[in-house]
Amino acid sequence: MAKAPNAARRSESSRRAILTATQELCGENGYRRVTVEAIAARAGVSKKTIYRWWPSKGAVVLEILDEAASITADPPDTGDLAADLHTQLTEVIGLLAPSHTSPAAGLIAEALQDPDLGRELRERVIEPRIAKFRERLRRAQQQGQLSPDADLDVALDLLYGPLYHRLAFHLGMPDPDYLDTLIAHALRSLTPPDSTN
Site residues (vs DNA, CB under 7 A): 5-6, 8-11, 14-15, 17, 33, 35-38, 43-49, 51-53, 56-57
Partner in contact with 37, chosen from a second copy, DNA, none, beta carbon below 5 to 8 Å by kind: DNA
32 binds a second copy (CB under 8 A): yes
48 binds a second copy (CB under 8 A): no
93 binds a second copy (CB under 8 A): no
Partner in contact with 52, chosen from a second copy, DNA, none, beta carbon below 5 to 8 Å by kind: DNA
Listed ranges 13-21, 43-51, 135-143, 166-174: which one lies at the site for a second copy (CB under 8 A)? 166-174
Burial status of residue 60 (CB atoms within 10 A of its CB: 0-12, 13-18, 19 or more): buried
Interatomic CA distance for residues 183 and 67, integer angstroms: 28
Q: CB count, 10 Å around CB of 106?
A: 21
Listed ranges 4-12, 29-37, 42-50, 68-76: which one lies at the site for a second copy (CB under 8 A)? 29-37
60 binds a second copy (CB under 8 A): no
Tell me the CB-side half-sphere exposure of residue 96, using CA atoms within 13 A: 21
164 binds a second copy (CB under 8 A): yes
Complex with a second copy: residue 4 or 78, whichever CB lies closer: 4
Contact 117, 161 (CB under 8 A): no
Interatomic CA distance for residues 126 and 83, integer angstroms: 22
Contact 48, 107 (CB under 8 A): no
> What backbone torsions phi and psi does residue 45 show, to the nearest 5 degrees?
-135, 155
Burial status of residue 69 (CB atoms within 10 A of its CB: 0-12, 13-18, 19 or more): middle
Task: Point out which residues bind a second copy (CB under 8 A).
Answer: 30-32, 99-100, 105-106, 108-115, 118-119, 121-122, 126, 151, 153-154, 156-158, 160-171, 174, 178, 181-182, 185-186, 188-190, 193
